[in-house]
Amino acid sequence: MSGGVTAFLDMPNNAPAATTVDAIEAKIASAGATAVAHHGFFIGATPDNLSDLQEAVGTPDAPVARPGVCGIKIFMGSSTGSLLVSEEGALDRIFEGTAGLIAVHAEDEDRLIERKEAFADRTDMAAHAEWRDDVTALLATQLAVNLATTHGHRLHVLHLTSGLEADWLAGRTRLPSEDGEGPCITVETLPQHLTFDENDVKEQGTRLKMNPPIRYAADRATLWNRLRDGTINCMATDHAPHTLEAKALGFPAAPSGMPGVETSLPVMLTHAARGACTVEDVVRWMSTNVADCYAMVGKGRLEVGADADLVLVDMVTQLTVDDANAWSRVGWNPFHGRSLVGWPVWTLVDGVPVFERSARTGPKGEVLVAPGSTGRPLIMMPWA
């Protein structure tokens, strides 16, 4: 709410991992009781849960749209959590046997394993991006695109980080609302990868450790270019909070992931205020196109008949990100110390004011409604 987010899509790499319909239904029930935003959940793929995936999203000849289920998540490379599907035969069975949207964490597990020993003695954070390099990402992205093309499957590539991938994807992506031949392939990137580079990693260390990693200034420039030309379709946060105590374990022991939700909109609106893009671009990348990518009913547009999910932002007042004002339970933010504009002053869900940031509330802001009183499972159209 403090970041102006009115709906979220949650990943399945919990403990235990959400790999069954029962697990997803439990998460939907939990969100209904505690959240104040609309919500959707990915079901996690494993090498042997094809029948669970089919129960959740259907088969190619009988697609299913369950309220609150946004698609299948495949970890092609090992990351935080236990989910991994790296063997090509298992991946092929999932692409061939399911309907729905498949979203991939695209890193090639074989290459990660092959290269790991060469970095075994490294304790500097620079080793993270060197080990999980852009070729590791490109190989997995190419495989996912090839599988989607072979089976005509809807594909979404999560948290794109490298210029190499972005350039290779040029001409291969389009929004579902756009005409085109072949499978519909969409791509997202993150505010972190449009803002940070190797110098920030050197300064902040494991606070900026994530998978795929923060890369280099050249990658950041290419991501911006491919976002502007439409190759990259939308933005996400990859919100994956870990405690500062865990982050203090150093490299490589510190877990990968960082808070991302509550500063994502101000970060992007600050880029707009500084001329990197327009406010209208940010609206398209963080709202309209997201709703398009996931075929969300009633979302992503401001018109009669659409849901009244709105955020009012202040493009004048600068506030400095302060860990003390973090709403995330881990109590810190990777943008700590940065001055940003575009902070939400009002957030509305279904027309109900749920959050206020003002002189009365102070810079942290205040939630205005009780847990579970607003928000509902997102409705998304089925994918054949």
Q: Is the pLDDT of residue 190 over 80?
A: yes
pLDDT band at 383 (very low <50, low <70, confident <90, very high): confident
Question: Cα 35 to chain center, whole Å?
Answer: 18
* DSSP SS3 for 373: coil
- Record the tokens describing residue 331, joined without a space: 């109590």
Instruction: Output helix, strand, coil percentages for the chain, rounded to the nearest 5.
Output: 35, 15, 45
Q: Do 207 and 332 form a contact (C-beta atoms < 8 A)? A: yes
Least confident of 11-25, 77-91, 149-163: 77-91
Largest CA-CA distance found in the chain, in angstroms, rounded: 59
pLDDT band at 77 (very low <50, low <70, confident <90, very high): confident
Q: Do 317 and 341 form a contact (C-beta atoms < 8 A)? A: yes
- Measured between alpha carbons, how far is residue 344 from residues 89, 263, 363 in Å? 46, 10, 10
- Measured between alpha carbons, how far is residue 379 from residues 38, 65, 70, 71, 84 in Å? 10, 8, 8, 12, 27
For 7-367, give the CATH class: alpha beta
Q: Do 32 and 376 form a contact (C-beta atoms < 8 A)? A: yes
Residues 30 and 269: their CA atoms lie apart, in Å, by 32
Least confident of 82-86, 166-170, 208-212, 368-372: 82-86
- Record the tokens describing residue 179, joined without a space: 């005409």
- Record the tokens describing residue 42, joined without a space: 């990915």
Query: What mean pLDDT is reported for the chain?
Result: 96
More confident residue, 195 or 78: 195
Residue 294: strand pairing partners: none
Domain-wise residue ranges, the chain: 7-367
Q: How far apart are the first and last CA of the chain?
A: 33
Question: Cα 341 to chain center, whole Å?
Answer: 22
- Record the tokens describing residue 10, joined without a space: 């949650």
The CB-based long-range contact list for 278-282 (8 Å cut-off, 24+ gap) reads 279/315, 281/228
Using alpha carbons only, how large is the chain's radius of gyration in Å? 20
Residue 188: strand pairing partners: 234
Tell me the per-residue pLDDT of 221-251, one tens digit each, with 9 for 90 and over.
999 999 999 999 999 999 999 999 999 999 9
Residues 370 and 286: their CA atoms lie apart, in Å, by 26
Which pLDDT score, from 0 to 100, does residue 82 have? 67
Which pLDDT score, from 0 to 100, does residue 78 have? 78
Q: Is the pLDDT of residue 384 over 70?
A: no
pLDDT band at 214 (very low <50, low <70, confident <90, very high): very high
Sheet holding 310-314, edge to edge: 310-314, 343-349, 352-356, 366-367
Tell me the per-residue pLDDT of 318-347, one tens digit each, with 9 for 90 and over.
999 999 999 999 999 999 999 999 999 999
Tell me the per-residue pLDDT of 275-331, one tens digit each, with 9 for 90 and over.
999 999 999 999 999 999 999 999 999 999 999 999 999 999 999 999 999 999 999
Which pLDDT score, from 0 to 100, does residue 80 have? 65
- Measured between alpha carbons, how far is residue 294 from residues 40, 247, 318, 374 in Å? 10, 33, 33, 21
Q: What is the DSSP letter of 301?
A: -
Residues 58 and 107: their CA atoms lie apart, in Å, by 26
| Count helices and strands in the chain by DSSP H and E runs | 14, 15
Closest by CA position to 238, among listed 272, 207, 210, 196? 210
